[in-house]
Structure 1
Amino acid sequence: MKIRFAVIDDAAFLRELIKNMMSNAGHLCVGEAENGNDGIRLVDSVLPDLVFLDMVMPLRNGLETARAIKEAHPDIQIIGCSTIDNDAMIEKAHEAGFDAYITKPFTKENLLLVVSKVLPQLGESTHGRG
């Protein structure tokens, strides 16, 4: 089965890049949002297996968004995608509920490697929808 994923990032080109990389690997994008508030509503409505989440966004940043998603849906995996690459921020991300963190720019191989680490059953939908 395909991984059902959502992308929350204020940069449209990055949302498109992640969607293309994941779709080309056989997975299904179930939605995208450009800020944390819209992202939380999206996740609540489509219940993806995996969320790609930017750290710096308008209205609600990645840390706040991750906390809200994990509080409501602790089984949804979150991968942070950011240009911020310092240990203190990565630690804060994990404390907020991120399951993994990848720095921009990244390759398709790097992205899929991180996905396989947070969803080792690669391809199994935890929500029973394919």
Structure 2
Amino acid sequence: MRTLVRMFLEQMGHTVIGEAQNGKEAVDLYGRLKPDLVTMDITMPEMDGLEAVKHIKSANPDAKIIMCSAMGQQQVVMEAIRSGASDFVVKPIQKERLQEAVEKLFAGQGMKIGVM
């Protein structure tokens, strides 16, 4: 999923500055790289996406995070939004939907993105 999201974001003209393989690494990378936007899967090892969002938002309440979830996880998506996620896209990821979510947050500006 990270590879596909990275490819879509780069095709849109954004720079991906980091990728994490699990929630703990995502929180650590966010602290070091300070990306303009984070895309985050809900299901990850070591620390799930919901917990990672809470950690990132506690460190930076203005952090912009787009959550990625599988179909049928609506309750989890709502929990992600309550935890501070800015938006969500349903897997399988569609480029158009990802672009819509990014543009809603940044009005088409190029930015530094962390894919977690």
Q: TM-score, normalised by structure 2?
A: 0.89
Is contact 2:65-2:85 (8 Å) kept?
Answer: yes
Q: Report the equivalent of 1:44.
A: 31
Partners of 1:45 and 1:108 lie apart in 2 by: 28
Residue 123 of structure 1: how far off its partner (Å): 1.1
Q: Report the equivalent of 1:69.
A: 56
Higher relative contact order (CA 8 A, sep 6+): 2
Kindly report structure 1 stretches of 4+ aligned residues shifted beyond 3 Å: 84-87
> One-letter code of the match for 1:24?
Q
Residue 17 of structure 1: how far off its partner (Å): 0.5
Residue 106 of structure 1: how far off its partner (Å): 2.3
Question: Among the aligned pairs, what percent are the same residue?
Answer: 34
Residue by residue, what CA displacement relative to the aligned partner does 1:2-38 show, whole Å, maximum 9, x if unpaired? xxxxxxxxxxxx1111111000111000100010110
Note the aligned Cα RMSD (angstroms). Answer: 1.6
Show structure 2 runs of 5+ residues with no match.
none
| Residue of structure 2 aligned with 1:26, choices 9, 13, 19 | 13
Residue 125 of structure 1: how far off its partner (Å): 5.0
1:112 equivalenced with 2:93 (yes/no): no
Partners of 2:7 and 2:85 lie apart in 1 by: 22
Show structure 1 runs of 5+ residues with no match.
1-13
Q: TM-score, normalised by structure 1?
A: 0.80
Q: 1:73-84, aligned counterparts within 5 Å?
A: 73-84=60-71
